[in-house]
A = this chain, B = another copy of it.
Amino acid sequence: MQPLRFSAQRELIFNTILNDKDHPTADAIYNKLKPTNPQLSLATVYRNLRQLEEKGDVIRISTQCGCDHYDARTDKHYHLYCKVCDKMFDIDYTIDTQIIEKAQEQSQHLVENYELYFIGKCKNCRETDKK
């Protein structure tokens, strides 16, 4: 893959993910940028998210629950999916680093990677409940 050409849209999209830190979805990014960039197209957001993911500038977080979220923090870390507000939050949790190796030991398949996320209720929604 040859290097990407500069694109104002890609900068906008990347900066949104970088600054907002709320793991936005493609749609959330689009809706955030659209008012100030009326010409922006949702297809462009999707195309750039793919490229940014391939470049390794962002990671994609998938859950059972609807659409993918994006994160500019690319080191291995985990997320909590809030069932109430449908958002993703960072979880400070360090899993056994040997998880792949250990799964490999007990399997005849080739284990290369894993996906892990938590499900629950975020701080905000939890407090709203209590009121």
Contact = CB atoms under 8 A, between A and B. Distances in A.
A113 B102 contact: no
A92 B110 CA distance: 13
B112 A121 contact: yes
Given A62-B64, A114-B117, A80 B109 contact: yes
Given A64-B62, A78-B103, A92-B106, A118 B126 contact: no
Contacts of A89: 109
A68 B83 CA distance: 19
A17 interface: no
Contact of A123 (B78, B95, B108, B119): B108
A96 interface: yes
